Structure 1
Amino acid sequence: MSEFAGKTALVTGATAGIGRAVARQLAARGADVVVHGRDAQRGASLVEELGGRARFVAADLSDASQVLRLAAEAGPVDILVNNAGIYDFAPTPATTAADFDRHLAINTRAPFLLVGALVPAMIERGGGVVVNMSSTSATMAAPVGAVYGASKAALELLTKSWATEFGASGVRVNGVSPGPTRTDGTERMIGDNLDAFAQQINVRGRIGDPDEIADVVVFLAGERSSYINGTVVVAHGGERSLLPV
C-alpha cells in the first residue's frame, strides 16, 4: 500500500504498545517512520522489522532539551503522532510534586514542544497532520490517577486549540482517546485481572487491541479524514462511565 508514500512520520513512544502498532501500520502504507523511544535495543528491533522505512531516535521526553533535540533530529515530518505517555494511578496524597511534574512534562509539555518545533515547517510545505494520544481518563473522573487524567485533559484542549490555530494553514490536529488496551504497560499495572477488569468496565466485555487503536490513528493521519479537524475520536468499545466530566 502507498497511501503515505513520500511522507515522513514521527511516532513518539513507538517501541511498544500502541505506538509500535502505529509505526508498523504507517510503514506498511508507505511512510518513512522516525521511531522514538528510550530503549535503544527495542528501537533497533523495530527499525529492523520495518526495514528501510524507519530510523530510531532516543530521547527522554521529561527533559525539554531532549524533546527539542528529537524534533531537530527527526527533521521535516509530515505526520506527528504524539503517542508517548506515562501513567501512575495513585491517589492524590501519594502523588509527589515530582510525579506531578513528570506526568505534565511527558504527557503534555512534550507534545506542546514538538508541535511548536515541527508544525511551522509543515505549514511552509503546505500542510501536515498531528495526532495526539489521549485517554478516556481525560473525561471520566476516577478515585485514583487524577494527575494522569489532568495531563490528558490538557492535551485534549491543546488538540482543539491547535486545530483552530493551524487549520487555516493546512495542518489538521486531532486526537484519539482509547479505553484500556492490551499492552505491556496495562498488563503490568492490572496483572492477571485484565480480562475481568475489561468485562467490568466495557460493554463489549473485552479489552482493546493496539492495532484497533492504530487503525484510528492511521485514518486520522491520512487523506480519508481530510475534513476532520479538532476532534478527539473515542475508541473504547463502549466503556461504562459512572462519573463523566
Structure 2
Amino acid sequence: MGSRLREKTALVTGGTGRIGRAVAAALAAEGARVVVSGRDRARGEAVAAAIRDAGGSADFVAADLDGRADASRALAREATRVLGGRVDILVNNAGVFPGPSTPETDEATFDAVYGVNVKAPFFLTAALAPAMAEAGGGAIVNIGSWVVRLGLPAGVAYAASKGALETLTRSWAAEFGPRGVRVNTVSPGVIREQDGAADGSGVLMNGTPAGRSGAPDAIAHAVVYLASEEAVFVHGAILDVDGGRVSAAVIAA
C-alpha cells in the first residue's frame, strides 16, 4: 500500500467497468477512502469487497447517472455522507458507447449518450466542486477518449460527447482552479481487459508506437498522478494515455 493519497476521499463513477475498477483500486492502494458508484449493486459490492480484501477502504453506492440533475445530486449527497462529510477527489468515469453512424443514431440514443457522458458529470461536478473549494481544495479527473482527436466513421455521438467533456475540463479548470480545485482529463486509448485476453481491439493500435492495446492499470496510474499533490501545477490538461495513437505513427520501411 502506498501513501500518496493518505487521508483523502474519492468518488469514482462507473466503478464497476474495467477502467473504473482499476481506478478505484489504484486510488485505494495509495491510501484514499473510495466510494465506488455504478448501477449494478452485485458488481459494485464485489469491487468494493476486492479493494477491502487487498487492504484498502471502499464502499459501494448505487447510482444511475442518466443525466438527470437529481440523480447526480443524490449521488453527491450520499457519497459525501459515506465518506464522512467530504469528497476530495472526483473521477467522472461513467460513460456509454453506442456505435451507430450518424444516420443510424436516433434521438433517444443521442440523448442517452449526452445524458450519461456530459450532463451527469456536469451536474455531479456542480454539486461537489464548490464543497471541495470550501474545504480547501480538491481534484477532479474526467475520463475522455482518444476518438475525440482521431475521427472514426462510427460512434460519432460518443466522440462528440467526449469532446464536450474535454471542453468542460478546460472551462472548469478556469472556474474552479483559482479556488483550489484542479480539473484535468485522462484520455485513454484502446484498452483491453486487465487479464490481457485477446478481444480483437489490438488491430486499432497497428502503426502506433506501442503497437498494442493498453491495460486499465495504465489509466489508473495516470488518474492517481492527477489526483495527487505531484500534479499540483497541472490544470486543464488532457493527458493522452493511448500508446501514441493520436500523436505518432510508425511507418514501416
Output the TM-score relative to the length of structure 1. Answer: 0.92
CA contact (8 A) 1:140 1:241 kept: no
The yes-or-no answer on 1:11 pairing with 2:12 is yes
In the alignment, the residues of structure 1 paired with residue 131 and residue 156 of structure 2 have an alpha-carbon distance, to the nearest angstrom, of 35
| Identical positions, percent | 49
CA contact (8 A) 1:8 1:33 kept: yes
Find the partner of 2:76 among 54, 68, 71.
71
Unaligned runs of 5+ in 2: 81-85, 249-253
Partner of 2:57: 53
Partner of 2:164: 154
Q: Which amino acid aligns with 2:61?
A: V
CA contact (8 A) 1:201 1:240 kept: no
The yes-or-no answer on 1:183 pairing with 2:193 is yes
Specify the SS of the correspondent of 2:95. coil
TM superposition shift of 1:119: 0.7
Partner of 1:106: 116
Query: Comparing both structures, which one devotes a greater share of its residues to helix?
Result: 1
Question: Could you list the runs of 4 or more consecutive aligned residues of structure 1 that deviate by over 4 angstroms after TM superposition?
Answer: none
CA contact (8 A) 1:15 1:43 kept: yes
In the alignment, the residues of structure 1 paired with residue 179 and residue 246 of structure 2 have an alpha-carbon distance, to the nearest angstrom, of 38
In the alignment, the residues of structure 2 paired with residue 59 and residue 28 of structure 1 have an alpha-carbon distance, to the nearest angstrom, of 24
Specify the SS of the correspondent of 1:119. helix
Q: Which amino acid aligns with 1:55?
A: D
CA contact (8 A) 1:136 1:179 kept: yes
In the alignment, the residues of structure 2 paired with residue 167 and residue 45 of structure 1 have an alpha-carbon distance, to the nearest angstrom, of 35
Specify the SS of the correspondent of 1:92. coil
TM superposition shift of 1:241: 7.0
Query: CA-to-partner distance for each residue in 1:93-112, whole Å, 9 max, x for gaps?
Result: 11110110011011111110
Q: Which amino acid aligns with 2:57?
A: R
Partner of 2:203: 196
CA contact (8 A) 2:38 2:61 kept: yes
Query: Alignment RMSD, CA only?
Result: 1.7
Partner of 1:173: 183
In the alignment, the residues of structure 2 paired with residue 18 and residue 41 of structure 1 have an alpha-carbon distance, to the nearest angstrom, of 17
Partner of 1:36: 37
TM superposition shift of 1:138: 1.4
TM superposition shift of 1:89: 1.8
Find the partner of 1:236 among 231, 242, 248.
242
Specify the SS of the correspondent of 2:183. strand
The yes-or-no answer on 1:81 pairing with 2:91 is yes
Unaligned runs of 5+ in 1: none
